[in-house]
Structure 1
């Protein structure tokens, strides 16, 4: 009986130490959103400024690139903490 309990405890510890598929998929999802959200904010702000100032895509392109860069930086920092 004691051997069975020890074996079960060992298996439970090993299972907790291995990353699960759901956790990995969740981390990929969080990372994706951390890049996409700042890019969409930059795109929306750029489109709004271009519409208000009638400037074509003068603000949209640079703010989109800044949003992508900021999102990648956020993702990089988040991965470093994991």
Structure 2
């Protein structure tokens, strides 16, 4: 005689929900990409320039401040090295912050669109 088998709980609806959500998100990204054409090569070059300058400028300012302090206070290059590292750290943080915001804007167009719609609604209500 065969023993009756006990069936485990079915977790398929949960997976299908997350999969359908994932598919809907991909479809929304593709539709957004079709509506808003890709900026092209010049946009990418400009992006690299902005990231490069956001790192280079604080680093150069840190070096300049360090050289000036070394000339005023001591003959060693201690302040130059300190402010070189501080400027480089600040520049990398600025670049990382900026790139993460751009990445979020590119990969969450629905959230961005909803936020823009809500802000327009708030401003129109405030103007009344």
Residue 67 (structure 2) pairs with residue 47 (structure 1): yes
Equivalent residue for 1:22, pick from 35, 42, 46: 42
- The gaps in structure 1 that reach 5 residues or longer are 1-12
**So what's the TM-score if we normalise by structure 1?**
0.78
Aligned to 1:7: none
- The gaps in structure 2 that reach 5 residues or longer are 1-32, 103-128
Quote the Cα distance in structure 2 between the aligned partners of 1:46 and 1:54.
11
**So what's the TM-score if we normalise by structure 2?**
0.51
Bigger relative contact order, structure 1 or 2, given CA contacts below 8 A and separation 6+? 1
Between the two proteins, the alignment pairs up a number of residues equal to: 70
SS at match of 2:76: coil
Aligned to 1:63: 83
The two structures, once aligned, show a CA RMSD in angstroms of 1.6
